Structure 1
Amino acid sequence: MNIPDALKPYATGELASRYVNVDELDWKPTPTPGIDMKILLDVPETGLLTALFRWAPGTALPLHEHVEIEQTYVLSGSIVDDEGEVREGNYVWRPKGNRHIARSPNGALVLSFFLKPNKFLEGELAGKELK
C-alpha cells in the first residue's frame, strides 16, 4: 500500500487509522492535460485508488472503460457525459465495463473511488491505461 507522506506520521500500525492532511499533498498531473489529482489512497495490489481530481474548465477525458465500479462525488462544478450531468453536491457511480467520455465545461473538483487500470480507447491515450 502506498501511504502519502502527508499521513505517514499517523500510520503507526497495520490496523491504525490513516489521517490525511490533504493540504500537504501536491497536485500531480494526470495523462489528460487539464486534470490534476491528489492521491489519497493507492493500493497497487488491488488497484484501489481514492483521489481528488481537479478539472480545468473545458477539459475532456477521452473515451475510456472502467474495469470495475467507479464512484464520483462532485465537490464543486460539474462533470458531463452522454448519459447526464453530475453537479456540486451530487454523486454518480458507473458499473464495471462502463465506457464514457467525461467533460467539464466549467471546471470541477471531484472525489473519486475506482479500481485501476482504466483503459483509454480513443485519442492520444488510446491503448494506454491509467495505473
Structure 2
Amino acid sequence: MTELFANTGRGALPLPSDGSAVLRTGREWRECGTPGFLIQPLLEDEDAGVRTWLMKIEPGAFAGVHSHAEVEQVYVLDGEFYDDDASYGAGDYVVRAAGTEHVSGSREGATVLLAYSRAEHAA
C-alpha cells in the first residue's frame, strides 16, 4: 500500500513500516540555521538514524568548519558546490565519514540531495 502525502506542511516522511510513502513536490524551502542554505526535508526517521533532504544553496553562501555525527552523502543536482577538497558540479557525489570536519559553499548557487545516516546504517 502506498501512503500519499500532499503539500500539507507535514514536513518530512518517516520511514514506511510497510509499502511505500510519497511526498508530492511544490513545498516551500525553509531556513536551516545557516544563511543561504535552504532545505526541504524529504525523509526523517530518528529511530532508524536517517535523514534525506533537498538543499538549495544560494550564490555566495558559505558554511564554516563543521561536522556531522552521521555519515553525510551529497549528490549535486545542479549548479556548483564546494568543500575543502574540491568543487563539484551536477552529477558529482561526495560521501563523508561521520565526524569529518569540512566547510561548504557555492559561488554560483546549487541544489543538492543530502542523505545522513548513522554509521551502522551507512551503505
TM-score by length of 2: 0.78
Q: State the identity as a percent.
A: 32
Shift in Å, 1:7? 7.7
Cα-Cα RMSD: 2.5
Could you tell me which runs of 5 or more consecutive residues in structure 2 were left unpaired when the two chains were aligned. Answer: 9-13, 119-123
CA contact (8 A) 2:59 2:106 kept: yes
Q: How many residues align?
A: 110
Shift in Å, 1:114? 0.8
Runs of 4+ residues over 3 Å off in structure 1: none
TM-score by length of 1: 0.74
Which residue, 14, 17, 34 being the options, matches 1:14? 17
- Find the aligned partners of 1:88 and 1:94 in 2 and give their Cα distance: 18
Give the equivalent residue in structure 2 for 1:32.
34
**What SS does the corresponding residue of 2:21 show, helix, strand or coil?**
coil
Could you tell me which runs of 5 or more consecutive residues in structure 1 were left unpaired when the two chains were aligned. Answer: 117-131
Counterpart mapping for 1:1-131 below 5 A: 5-6=5-6, 14-23=17-26, 25-115=27-117
Shift in Å, 1:44? 2.1
Relative to total residues, which structure has the larger helix share, 1 or 2? 1
**What SS does the corresponding residue of 2:47 show, helix, strand or coil?**
coil
